[in-house]
Amino acid sequence: MASIIRVKRSSGTNKPATLNWGEFGYVTGIGSYGGTNQYKDRIFIGDDGQNANPVGGYYYASMMEHSPGTVTGVTNARNTDGGIVAVLDSNRKVDEWNVDNLTLNSNTLSSTDTDGDIIFNPNGSGEVMIPDDTFLGFGGGANGTDAADSKIEYDEDGVNQLTFSGADVRFNITTESSTKDTGAIIVEGGVGIEKNLNVGGSLNIIGNATFDQIRLQDNIISTISGDTMYLDPYPDGLSNEGTVVVKGNLQVDGTQTAVNSSSVTVNDPLFVIGEVTSKRTVMSPVSAGANTITLDSIVGVNTGDAISGSASLPNSGVATISSYNTGTKIVTIQGVTSAGISTTTQLTITHAYDTNTDRGIQFKYNTSSGTANNKDGFFGYVDADTNAGSNAPARSWTYVPDATIQGSTVTGTRGYLDIKGIYYQTADYNANGAVYFDDNGLQTSTNNPASPTITSKQVLTGITKNTLALPSNVTLAVGDIVKQDTTNAYGVVETAVSGGNSINLVGVEGTFTNTYNIRKEGNNGTIANLAVIPSSVTVIYTNRPTWTSTLDGGTFW
């Protein structure tokens, strides 16, 4: 038996050109992958076609000359490539795995290129999945040895929500928001906030927002439940301290406004009471072609009132209310709408109905101790004849210290006014005239005693004036005395009559009737029978004070 088996050998760089079937060949030297030395340190075997096929050699074996499972620190000085083969240990592990710029070592996946990114990119519609109840941690040790500072978890076993825990979360994206679909964070659903919300810039809410029992929607602030809303400018829990400042106009559409402050200041030069216009809010959508509108309140609304505030209303946007329902708060208008009217639309009611209600200031006071002595006073305008006491004139200004006020009407005894003087407006008085009361208690002025005059002195006397309507014409001069038969009533002609059928008599004594004939006595003492019986007698005034320049039935002024 031979002790040495030899194969074809070569110290060059080329592999054998041909090898017989089953014949081995070897190329010596330090091999490499590719290049001039790509066939060195290899063993070849021939096939049935005499092709030289590589089947081994130290070039390959040197790559596996290290402990199984060990990659870190392993070198191969045998070949110029320095390549090694990862050999798994009995647990099918190696201590380090490198793919391109990624290193997997222990529990750490890291990039080997400086500032290199790590990208998880599933193929097609695949997703990067993190199982339920598994934390995605941030922070901690560089190699993951310490607990995470902040974590994200889909808490399937708990609240069944994606949860953030640990350190605070900051979004350093500075994109400004101008609509609900722009900004650094865009949330399509609702947002629940357990604790305080602080906003450094503008807070723009599209749609509606709810803060405890307060809702913000469109341009409306409203309560969710209950019917009371507080604006408290002082952090003391509904104390009366602090100041609420309203910039711009303030409109109150309720039925009652109470001011509990100790003083009220108004800069307006005119204070309007009993405005004849008011605002109402549309509470249900109004369709085109409708003639009914549901309002928030119909207090003070009456048939004939004008309603405006929407171009959809008939008659160029100004409709007339034909009826109303106090239970449903629905008004019916004349005509129909040309288009729809949305809820929250503000409509204006212009009242066209005389309510016969009074206008003024109602004040409350106490005459002595005890609530039984609480009084209501009134100072202002009364509308009807008898609202503020017996025979009170309509549409007058009055003061009632102890008033009864029901339905915006005032009754009670008028009180005293403490003033220094009263001026009559021009044409309501005569210079140097005397003030007297008429039949209704109205103070008025007599005539002016200085013009005209006949003597240097005048006499103030009380006279009665009648007007006699006649069935035929007469002629009379100023100063003629007209006397009636049987009744003996007489009076002085105030104004000349030339072929007229009406006589104004002043200084009337007695009672003229439409039964007896009348005669006249002229300035020269002649008496003429007028031969006429008055068809009617009208008393113009009785015992009115009048300045006269004569005592004998002369001219009165």
| Residue 555: pLDDT over 70 | no
Q: How many CA atoms lie within 13 A of 429 on its CB side?
A: 14
CB 531 within 8 A of CB 457: no
Question: What is the C-alpha to C-alpha distance for residues 28 and 222, in angstroms, rounded to an integer?
Answer: 95
> What are the angstrom distances between the C-alpha of 78 and each of 31, 34, 69?
8, 15, 20
Burial code (b: 16+ CB inside 10 Å, e: under 16) for 507-544 equals bbeeebeeeeebbbbeeeeeeeebebbbeebeeebeeb
Give the mean model confidence (pLDDT) for residues 197-210.
79
Q: What is the pLDDT of residues 500-539, one digit of tens each?
A: 999 999 989 999 999 999 999 877 778 899 999 999 999 9
Q: What is the pLDDT of residues 38-60, one digit of tens each?
A: 999 999 999 999 999 999 988 88
At residue 9, φ and ψ (nearest 5 deg) are: -130, 150
CB 330 within 8 A of CB 294: yes
277-350: which CATH architecture? Beta Barrel (2.40)
Confidence grade of residue 195 (pLDDT, cut at 50, 70, 90):
confident
Domain boundaries, the chain: 8-56, 120-175, 205-244, 277-350, 359-411, 436-548
Give the mean model confidence (pLDDT) for residues 460-464.
84
Q: What is the pLDDT of residues 112-155, one digit of tens each?
A: 999 999 999 998 999 999 999 998 888 876 565 678 889 999 99
Q: How many CA atoms lie within 13 A of 486 on its CB side?
A: 7
| Residue 557: pLDDT over 50 | no
| Residue 453: pLDDT over 70 | no
Residue type for position 557:
W
What is the H or E stretch that residue 400 is in? strand 396-400
Question: What is the C-alpha to C-alpha distance for residues 298 and 319, in angstroms, rounded to an integer?
Answer: 16
The set of residues, in sequence order, having a beta carbon less than 8 Å from that of 12 and lying 6+ positions away, is 27
Q: What is the pLDDT of residues 267-315, one digit of tens each?
A: 888 888 888 898 999 999 999 999 999 999 998 899 999 999 999 999 9
* Alpha helices, H only, 387-451: none
Provide the 10 A C-beta neighbour count for residue 497.
Answer: 19
pLDDT of residue 552: 46
What predicted TM-score, i.e. pTM, was given to this entire model? 0.54
Q: What is the pLDDT of residues 158-177, one digit of tens each?
A: 999 999 999 998 989 999 88
